[in-house]
Amino acid sequence: MKKDFFISLALAAIILTACILNIVSFAQACDSVRRDVLRLHVVADSNSETDQKLKLLVRDAVLEKGGELFEGTVTVNTAKAEILPRIDELETAATKVLRENGCKNSVEITVTEEYFNTRCYEDFTMPAGVYTAVRVNIGSAQGQNWWCVMFPPLCLPAASTDADAFFTDAEMKVVSSSPEYEPRFKIVEIIESIKAKLKE
């Protein structure tokens, strides 16, 4: 009887260890994705219909200019290096769109570290956690926001970017998974949320 108990206990320990290692491996792949991605976060002046439409126009202008800046870029670090000294160009492109549409609001663009929840897009998923982000504040930045991935250029208008060219196999398993069928996304989100709150 005792032998059966210890065998069951050993099997349970093995299964538990395997589960923990599996989660740790997935979490490490998620961390790798976060290091290799540059997010875009556009915040509207308000939630009025006009300001929300302007937000999308600004988004397109920043993405288009960002695409020009990133031509030939193959790493997120290079992408950051390209963005930082050329913030003025992005702000000019965004401001031009606002003025063309009769809006006098200012635009402030910064490169910052931000926490994002797990987010599903049409063809890929970004795990929760802190990412480097290009943040675009329009006017008072009190409205609903829009976010996606600026580099790799997965959210460029009419983008045909092959994610395989930017992500490792382990990263591809993460970004090509769906939280609906991958419960480890929720575990990672809980862990990353706690870490982000502890840093506040």
Q: What is the pTM of this model?
A: 0.81
Number of domains in the chain: 1
In angstroms, the CA 172 to CA 29 distance is 9
* DSSP labels, 29-45: HHHHHHHT-EEEEEE-S
Residues making up the chain, counted from first to last: 200
In angstroms, the CA 69 to CA 90 distance is 10
**Is 68 a domain residue?**
yes
**Is 155 a domain residue?**
yes
Q: Within 10 A of 153 (CB to CB), how many other CB atoms are there?
A: 21
| Parallel/antiparallel/unpaired status of strands 129-138 and 107-116 | antiparallel
- Which pLDDT band holds residue 158 (cuts at 50, 70, 90)? very low
Per-residue pLDDT at 188: 87
Higher pLDDT, 45 or 153: 45
In angstroms, the CA 6 to CA 59 distance is 60
In angstroms, the CA 187 to CA 101 distance is 44
Examine the pLDDT at 150 and tell me if it is beyond 60.
Answer: yes
Q: Within 10 A of 104 (CB to CB), how many other CB atoms are there?
A: 8
Residue % of the chain over a pLDDT of 90: 37
**Is 157 a domain residue?**
yes
What mean pLDDT is reported for the chain? 85
Which of 41-50, 112-121, 135-144, 154-163 shows the lowest mean pLDDT across its residues? 154-163
Examine the pLDDT at 71 and tell me if it is beyond 80.
Answer: no
**Is 18 a domain residue?**
no
- Which pLDDT band holds residue 140 (cuts at 50, 70, 90)? very high
| pLDDT tens string 7-30 | 666 677 777 777 777 788 888 999
**Is 19 a domain residue?**
no
In angstroms, the CA 16 to CA 28 distance is 18
**Is 2 a domain residue?**
no
Residues 6+ apart with CB under 8 A from 2: none
| pLDDT tens string 77-113 | 788 888 888 899 999 999 999 999 999 999 999 999 9
Rounded to whole angstroms, what are the CA distances from 58 to 6, 11, 90? 64, 56, 10
The boundaries of the domain holding residue 49 are: 30-199
**Is 24 a domain residue?**
no
Q: Are 141 and 118 in contact (CB under 8 A)?
A: no
